[in-house]
Structure 1
């Protein structure tokens, strides 16, 4: 009975096929009538054929859609997503080497203009000192910021310990020839407070950043944990760690698909890690405001060290001390065993999967520790050091895949590479499968 039904349906289908093949070309009216008839009959036939069982397969010629009664994996309309990030460390007054690095990493062209090859360009601080190109470099950063924004790119810049030192009046690493590019000490003080550079620091430079790899997590520097979000703590049995260092949300598989950028480092014992990076950046902003708006002291040297402004809070003092994000070097100097234990706590609390920083130079190249969870990108780019010209490149892809259950499944992949003038070295190449519906709003 089922076989007879199938043969009858197949005969009807073949008849429709030949009508459409040889008659539809006659006139628009005939085409419309035949098409309507075909739709009315073809769809029930397709449904009936689908119900026959897994051994029934009907193929048509190349001009028609092939179909089968075997239920296929749902065809995904979810588009793959990509994000490309380039980061560089300390530049220390060297425009020429900075241009070389940004050019071979694809951020700028031979004229120093934004190429659009990167979605984000990140600089981790210490643009100033040890060289004469302070004005040129900060002017260039603001030019790139505007150019990037016009085509949907983003430039993220950070204050390093040398920016803060200069704001304090600690000019120990300022070359006399660099002061001459400003015209005078007073002119330099004005430029770093109410002038172009000072305004750029206040408006566009943060102490740290949290950069999501996927826009589902929001724009850069979206606070973590999310505001007004219930906090869940994950703690293994007999695990001797503070509960607030083990934050994860099992309902948000991308919660830690983000990177942190900072100049010195995020110490595991620093008291203001969370909410990240909101708390640190608020302290940095208030501290910088006090430095820029006090009567500027005569710089040291040759004068005495000016100290911190009146009214500096205890939290602001902690921000600038050796354990704070401007100066911390533990990720470079601690043993591998200690660093790899401590980094897990910081990553958990900051909603990130790896920390990227400058400050502690390695003149041979970029340093990766603990399977790329700690990456130090200060390689002495400035001619003052004569180190390696380098940049860090992160390629992130989020690709849809399907399965028989029709779950929204994805492959998340992150490839982190160290770029040099003459070579490229892969630091991390990791992927994992993720299930869920995710927002793709551009940021």
Structure 2
């Protein structure tokens, strides 16, 4: 009598085990229900540390965003000075403003250590002044954390003291730079009326919400799951669907409206798709979506531009593109 009962219980337990959610290397979109099951399963596995503290948001009503920098210190300093975010001594001069950098600080240039350390210093100085510095993961941050080094320059390796020392520095658990990045970066950031990502935020990901996306990215990085769906082609660090207007302008604007509605915002800001031929910020769908990767690094032409968003007391906003020749409303 006991054997059939035991066998039945064993079959039931195996069935439950097989139904448990697991990480996937597929590039297919993740449904909200599946993502939430994965999160509940993953949340009990580890304590990977607190998320970046973005609670002390800017009170000035001014937000400046800059795109991909690609290890070019001189151009990074130039664009931050253009936006009045640093002084001539490379110190924070933004007061209570918010600075958002949309990822890809690393690769293609020689100044990786200098640019990351600059942002680390600015985060601390901004916080002391009542301002805020926000960093968003780019695909190149995730690639380097995961050991994909195809775009690292020899000068970059040398600045770390060699390939092995660079590898050690990027470890999120034990490396000085890996821990710095993991402690201060998220995959997306939402201000009052704007959402910032590196690549384009597609509707199926937006419906999960900002907090869920950030948790999923942090969990995957901590556990070394760099082929997780959130880091694949349609995810927020790789997609170029909006920038390339896949399916045409009308279809693109419909997708953008779906994202805005899901997140309750007025606009989406991305980097990732370099506008180096024009050197100008791309704005489509009546200003609902903008690409701020203008090719700031010398590798992409050395164009300078930043986006400025001013929130007024009456709830309205003004949005400007900042260029060396002056600022223009967009």
- Relative distance call for 1:117 and 1:418 in structure 2 (3 A) is farther
TM-score, with length taken from structure 2: 0.78
Whole-Å separation in 2 of the counterparts to 1:356 and 1:138: 22
Instruction: Compare 179-188 and 110-119 and name the one that shifted more.
Output: 110-119
Map residues 3-22 of structure 1 onto 2, 5 A cutoff.
none
Instruction: Compare 189-198 and 138-147 and name the one that shifted more.
Output: 189-198
TM-score, with length taken from structure 1: 0.58
2:311 maps to 1:420? no
Whole-Å separation in 2 of the counterparts to 1:100 and 1:337: 37
Question: SS of the residue aligned with 2:315?
Answer: strand
1:263–1:325 contact (8 Å) kept in structure 2: yes
Partner of 2:114: 136
Q: CA deviation at 1:202?
A: 1.2
Equivalent of 2:303 in 388, 396, 418:
388
2:73–2:114 contact (8 Å) kept in structure 1: yes
Larger Rg: 1
2:67 maps to 1:89? yes
Partner of 1:265: 200
Whole-Å separation in 2 of the counterparts to 1:413 and 1:397: 5
Instruction: Compare 380-389 and 202-211 and name the one that shifted more.
Output: 380-389
Partner of 2:147: 169
Partner of 1:290: 223
2:137 maps to 1:159? yes
Equivalent of 2:293 in 371, 375, 378:
378
Deviations 1:193-228 (A, max 9, x none): 12221112211100001112xxxxxxxxxxxxxxxx
Whole-Å separation in 1 of the counterparts to 2:157 and 2:261: 44
Whole-Å separation in 2 of the counterparts to 1:128 and 1:174: 8
1:106–1:117 contact (8 Å) kept in structure 2: no
2:77 maps to 1:99? yes
Equivalent of 1:323 in 225, 228, 234:
234
Equivalent of 1:361 in 274, 279, 287:
274
Map residues 155-234 of structure 1 onto 2, 5 A cutoff.
155-193=133-171, 194-212=174-192
- Relative distance call for 1:202 and 1:125 in structure 2 (3 A) is same
Q: CA deviation at 1:397?
A: 0.7
- Relative distance call for 1:392 and 1:118 in structure 2 (3 A) is farther
1:89–1:124 contact (8 Å) kept in structure 2: yes
Q: CA deviation at 1:321?
A: 1.1
**CA RMSD in angstroms, aligned pairs only:** 1.4
Partner of 1:147: 125
Partner of 2:254: 341
- Relative distance call for 1:207 and 1:184 in structure 2 (3 A) is same
1:82–1:397 contact (8 Å) kept in structure 2: no
Whole-Å separation in 1 of the counterparts to 2:185 and 2:83: 22
1:354–1:373 contact (8 Å) kept in structure 2: yes
Equivalent of 1:279 in 192, 208, 212:
212
Question: SS of the residue aligned with 2:64?
Answer: strand
**Residue ranges of structure 1 left out of the alignment (5+ in a row):** 1-80, 213-257, 292-307, 310-315, 399-410, 428-443
Whole-Å separation in 2 of the counterparts to 1:117 and 1:82: 8
Question: SS of the residue aligned with 1:135?
Answer: helix
Q: CA deviation at 1:387?
A: 4.2
Q: Say how many residue pairs are matched.
A: 266
